[in-house]
Structure 1
Amino acid sequence: MNKNGKVYLVGAGPGDPGLFTLKGKALLERAEVVIYDYLANPDLLKFCPENCEFIYVGKKGGAHTLPQEEINKLLVKKAMEGKCVVRLKGGDPFLFGRGGEEIEELVKEGIPFEVVSGITSGIAVPAYAGIPVTHRDYTSTLALITGHEAEDKEESKINFKALSKLGTLVFFMGVKNLPYIVENLLKEGKSSDTPCAVIQWGTTPKQKTAQGTLATILEDVKKKGITAPAIIVVGEVVKLRAKFNWFETKPLFGKRILITRTREQASKLRIALEESGAEVCEVPTIEVRPLISDKTLEVMQNLGRYDWIVFTSENGVRYFFETLFKQNLDLRALSKLKIAVIGPATFEAINKFYLKADLVPEKNYTQEGLAEAFKKLDLHGKKVLLVRAKVARELLPESLKAQGAEVNILPIYETLCPEASTAKLKEAFSEKIDAVTFTSSSTVENFFALLKKAGLTLPESLVLASIGPITSETIKKFGYEPTLEAKEYTIPGLVSALIDFFGRG
């Protein structure tokens, strides 16, 4: 056996990837093999190296991809190949996760291992439903119980008589056995008025909660359509949900929103939407590639001849400075230039290089707005370097020339439509989408090109959310009216428009 092989049992947490541990993330970043479960959020796999091997061994509704014995053998096999193996398990490895059985096999074969605890759904899921599992005014006792015992057991080992005397009861994997659980708690003296909640897909945007009492919960669950995976909470603390329900009351909770930005730029919009409670699907409709030519390199070596440099996008800033630094130049090359940017996002992008913009439009963050801002200045005889995409509108350079400026356009990147996004779009539309966001004309054009390739049509109820008037005009060219348009042409403005729109509904 290769002595370098090792297995890490890592708790994936309850579902929200933000609740994953830092140590777990560090291990995924260097994993060679990841063996993961149904309840481990697939977004966590984005932390892994490109050459990482992924093996899905999930168990859903009694259907097992691999029996537990085969999973144990698989862990041993991959470790014996000398691999760094991460066994990614939903929740915590040792809380009804069968982690102990897997370790027994590793110990038997002499495989080194470590355990990284995860946040258990037994505490996190009730918290996301506004239910603290303990509270000094209600109870100081808590029991975590499996609602799904081993099928080969002839008799239940759950002591319902003892449980009926405790404060808060949290059952895992118990939806199928909910009638049995309720029956036995009532039989052993638990009051039929005891508050009860069943929470499906807790800590995720799909979270759904049925609330009632032991007398009503079976009917409440049926009405809500709740199925596995779910957590059952029994106890007086459930009453606090009326005051503490913070997650399900977020303004975009329950909305599934598709974003079309580049993969690199999607995070800012995704974070803002998820913080507002939305479930986010990413389908990048743009792939950005840098453009470097002899002309580009010549411009970089002669920046001192210009009076102004103008950036119209974050991508322009990114690729300009990447190219600048590769030419063994630094920020001193811009020491004589004044800087103009099209809006707040571009302003933030140059700030990362410890630079300040000399000119930013006050409100209208478009070429029109920037052109208007320049009209307040004397540009006669000034040399302007306009850094932009290969294909772009000509309004700004034409306006600057009309003011007497000498304009040199530097195409620093180009945008393409990613082929792989056709399949992603089909997958995204396999479930209901409430809204699609568009942050530029390119995202609109490429989205409709992908839509055609995928053979899809837009549902009438779909909300088309535009970041600004130019993007809205492009949507109209495809025969659709934008449902909403941001008042401020920024990512925060777009998110605010979505919140306002769905808030009215």
Structure 2
Amino acid sequence: MSRGLVDARILLTRPAGQAAALGRMLASRGALVLQRPTLAIEPLPVQAPPTRKPDWVVFISPNAVRYGLPALAGSGLVAGAVAAVGPGTASALNQAGVTVTVAPTRGGGAEALLAEPAFDPAPGQRVLIIRGEGGRRRLQAPLQARGVILEELAVYRRMPAACRLDVPDDWLAVQLDAAVVTSVAGLQGLLAMATPAALEWVMDAALVVVSERVAAAARQAGWVAVTVADGADDTALLAALEQALERQKDD
């Protein structure tokens, strides 16, 4: 059992149902875990998938897998080359029985996928991107510059999880050791939901995030102790939490 996690109080903010495995991992190592989602994920009405089979299908997130595969059921569109933007998305595809052609083994995101030599759609090939509503669309422009034909299917949207961050009084009365935030939208939700007392409580804690972009937004909001995990998967987040707590102890 890791000493750094024993009795550590940790806030997880992922959407409902997406932090359970990490919560169990932390609890098994002696941590005290509070799960308070700051975002809710809602499926969008099923759209008609493209009628022409793409050369590549790219899944942007585990949520794209969760809601995209039913939308594509029976279409045969995921029978060819399949790409995932990170290991968490690749794991979701594998669990659903879909063979992943290429995915970054560490980290994740559009840049990481574009850097993979095996992700090589040629000019004139068709790429179908399964994604959420909105988002930064960092994959599209580089692919279009290659001469790739793009099609997109938005299958979910992010919504505020609640009006207020519900922190039990017995938690609020004790120092929070660390919080985990996995997106800028999740960070914005946390800031909007927290009462002044809860905001002071969470901002005094170490913060673990999944990208430099989220880290920059957190620092701009006022966090000082920010640790960037190597990826968004549970193993990477666990390692980052141990690192952040060890750093706290040294300070």
Tell me the TM-score range normalised by the shorter chain: 0.7 to 0.9
In the alignment, the residues of structure 2 paired with residue 276 and residue 394 of structure 1 have an alpha-carbon distance, to the nearest angstrom, of 37
- The residue aligned with 2:192 is 449
Distance change in 2, residues 1:342/1:376 (3 Å): closer
- SS of 2:223's equivalent in the other structure is coil
2:95 aligned with 1:347: no
Q: Which amino acid aligns with 1:434?
A: D
In the alignment, the residues of structure 2 paired with residue 416 and residue 426 of structure 1 have an alpha-carbon distance, to the nearest angstrom, of 23
Deviation at 1:487, TM superposition (A): 3.0
- The residue aligned with 2:39 is 286
Deviation at 1:441, TM superposition (A): 1.8
Equivalent pair of 1:464/1:482 in contact (CA under 8 Å): yes
CA-atom RMSD, angstroms? 2.3
Q: 2:135 aligns with which of 377, 380, 392?
A: 392
Deviation at 1:395, TM superposition (A): 1.3
In the alignment, the residues of structure 1 paired with residue 165 and residue 121 of structure 2 have an alpha-carbon distance, to the nearest angstrom, of 51
- The residue aligned with 2:55 is 307
Distance change in 2, residues 1:385/1:286 (3 Å): same
Distance change in 2, residues 1:333/1:475 (3 Å): same
- The residue aligned with 1:419 is 162
- SS of 1:480's equivalent in the other structure is coil
Q: Which amino acid aligns with 1:341?
A: A
Deviation at 1:433, TM superposition (A): 1.4
Q: Which amino acid aligns with 1:363?
A: R
Equivalent pair of 1:364/1:370 in contact (CA under 8 Å): no
Q: Which amino acid aligns with 2:112?
A: G
- What CA deviation, in whole Å up to 9, does each residue of 1:312-340 have, x standing for no partner? 11110000122334xxx26x4432x3100
Equivalent pair of 1:472/1:482 in contact (CA under 8 Å): no
In the alignment, the residues of structure 2 paired with residue 423 and residue 333 of structure 1 have an alpha-carbon distance, to the nearest angstrom, of 41
Within a 5 Å distance, the mapping from 1:107-118 to structure 2 comes to: none
Which structure carries more relative contact order (alpha carbon 8 Å, separation 6+)? 2
> Unaligned 5+ residue runs, structure 2?
none
- The residue aligned with 2:13 is 260
In the alignment, the residues of structure 1 paired with residue 116 and residue 181 of structure 2 have an alpha-carbon distance, to the nearest angstrom, of 25
Deviation at 1:415, TM superposition (A): 0.5
> Unaligned 5+ residue runs, structure 1?
1-245
- SS of 1:305's equivalent in the other structure is coil
Q: 2:23 aligns with which of 262, 265, 270?
A: 270
- What CA deviation, in whole Å up to 9, does each residue of 1:69-90 have, x standing for no partner? xxxxxxxxxxxxxxxxxxxxxx
Within a 5 Å distance, the mapping from 1:416-495 to structure 2 comes to: 416-419=159-162, 422-425=164-167, 427=169, 428-451=171-194, 454-456=195-197, 457-459=199-201, 461-495=204-238
Q: Which amino acid aligns with 1:395?
A: R
- The residue aligned with 2:68 is 320
TM-score by length of 1: 0.45
TM-score by length of 2: 0.88
In the alignment, the residues of structure 2 paired with residue 468 and residue 275 of structure 1 have an alpha-carbon distance, to the nearest angstrom, of 26
Identity of aligned residues (%): 24
Distance change in 2, residues 1:487/1:364 (3 Å): closer
In the alignment, the residues of structure 1 paired with residue 158 and residue 117 of structure 2 have an alpha-carbon distance, to the nearest angstrom, of 27
